[in-house]
Amino acid sequence: MLNHQKRLVLASTSPYRKTVLSRFNLSFDTFAPNIDETVFPNELPATLVQRLSEAKARAAQSIYPHALIIGSDQVAVLDEQILNKPLTHEKAVQQLQACSGKQVDFLTGLCLLNTKTGRTQVDIVHFSVLFRHLSIRQIENYLHLDKPYNCAGSFKSESLGIVLLERMMGSDPNSVIGLPLIRLVQMLEAEDIHLI
């Protein structure tokens, strides 16, 4: 269990990550890391998510000097191109049309930083989804119902977006939502935090 001397902090403003972490029934703070997420020239997706997950955790270390800080970052990749959050209905339609019948790979960087000891654990969790062949009617219906405009790949697997998929491939479906809990449990146990 989390003792009072080890405060847990989620360095993210994502409501999805907050909901996922809440499954552990642990009290935790949230912190807005406010870092520059610009992709470096020729930066590989795996390098990007690893760098940003650690940067998010480190952004909180001066405010939480005796804490375990979780940083996470995710990209969705289709045909070697990063899919950004669509933000608009039109871009979401384009993304889902491009994803139709194809595999999209999610790379999630995860960092657990112990600000008291300086110990940093960083990993990248891979997860893939195979989209069904989607008609424009299905895409439009889905977008009007789920409104996933702030989600990479233009769908929410934890919601109605699951109907868009033919198959999910990977060790932890939570990583599609942006916080791989299975790997996080292992990191917490390495810090002597046991959930059961």
Question: Could you give the residue numbers annotated as active site?
Answer: 73
Give the rounded distance of the alpha carbon of 31 from its chain centre: 15
E strand residue ranges, 81-194? 81-83, 103-114, 120-131, 165-170
Burial group, residue 49, by CB count within 10 angstroms (0-12, 13-18, 19+): buried
Torsion angle of the four alpha carbons 37, 42, 47, 51, in this order, in degrees rounded to the nearest 10: -30
E strand residue ranges, the chain? 7-10, 29-30, 67-78, 81-83, 103-114, 120-131, 165-170
Residue whose C-alpha is closest to residue 72's, from 62, 59, 81: 59
Residue whose C-alpha is closest to residue 44's, from 6, 71, 86, 82: 82
